[in-house]
Amino acid sequence: MKQLTDTALVIIARYPEVGKTKTRLARSIGDEATVQLYRVFLTDLAQRFAGQQYDVYWTFTPVHVDYAAFIATLVPDFASAMTCFPQQGADLGGRLLYAFQWIHAQSYQNIILIGSDSPHVSRNIIANARIALNEADVVLGPSDDGGYYLIAMHEPHDVFSGIPMSTSVVTQRTIEQAERQGLTIQCIDPLFDVDELPDLLRLAELLETDSQLAPATAAYITSTRRLHDYNIHR
């Protein structure tokens, strides 16, 4: 992809596979419903961030998948403007660091990485992260579970090694590690990830108020409620 800007937005994601996708949520709503839900998460993210003032990249797993072809099935009008590269690393921290290293090698000055578990991440949040990078070495978007849904840096500082990922202390430990390296940190808008059924219920309630936060996800939740494909009770 031809570089058009000094900023890259990277979405870390996986290919939706039955039995391997959002397994905690799948225990509540079933494997098939979880796979379909995750597909609409990815659809919302792809549609929202295409054509903005940054280049969009997907870093994906498993590595053998043709992820560009998969994205083209979700958003055929936007896929050609996005680039995909496989994840690499022994654990999540290693994969995050590799993503920053890979993008930095493409000569971007600002790298913003988000997860794919929050389909309601807004363009304003990305804009706020870009602004925060003017004054900080590391920008974090904290999630309610103690992790983060967004991390942004100018270059690939290792603020990942030794962090117990998927725990309630990820953001705190990441800040501590950055400070030990003499890096400046800013936190922006908090948000929540969708990992388990209570998170999905919360998202469903949010989208009832404003479906445009994640239109594809809102439509899917509405349809599956009618069809009783999974059990969301208000």
Tens-place pLDDT, residues 166-198: 889 999 999 999 999 999 999 999 999 999 999
Specify the number of domains making up the chain: 1
Is residue 2 one of the residues assigned to a domain? no
Q: How far is CA 231 from the centre of its chain?
A: 25
Q: What is the CATH number of the domain that holds 89?
A: 3.90.550.10
The span from the CA of 98 to the CA of 204, in Å, is 34
Q: Express as a percent the part of the chain with pLDDT over 90.
A: 88
pLDDT, residue 1, reads: 52
pTM of the prediction? 0.94
* Contacting residues for 206 by C-beta, under 8 A, at least 6 apart: 120, 213
Q: Is residue 157 part of a domain?
A: yes
Residue 233 lies in a domain: no
Residue-range definition of the domain harbouring residue 103? 7-227
Mean pLDDT of 28-42: 94
Banded model confidence at residue 227, pLDDT cuts 50, 70, 90:
very low
Residue 234 domain-assigned (yes or no): no
pLDDT tens track for 191-220 = 999 999 999 999 999 999 999 999 999 999
In what order do the strands lie in the sheet containing 185-187? Answer: 82-86, 55-61, 7-14, 110-114, 148-153, 138-142, 185-187
Grade residue 231 by pLDDT with cuts at 50, 70 and 90: low
User: Is 198 inside a domain boundary?
Assistant: yes
pLDDT at 94: 96
Asked whether residue 14 is domain-assigned, the answer is yes
Residue 228: is its pLDDT beyond 50? no
Assess if residue 232 is contained within a domain.
no
* H/E stretch holding 57: strand 55-61
**For 94, phi and psi rounded to 5 degrees?**
-65, -40
* Any domain includes 1: no
Is residue 232 predicted with pLDDT exceeding 60?
A: no
What confidence category does residue 67 fall into, taking pLDDT thresholds of 50, 70 and 90? very high
* Pick from 18-32, 95-109, 170-184: least confident: 18-32
Q: Is the pLDDT of residue 136 over 50?
A: yes
Rounded mean pLDDT of 12-37?
94
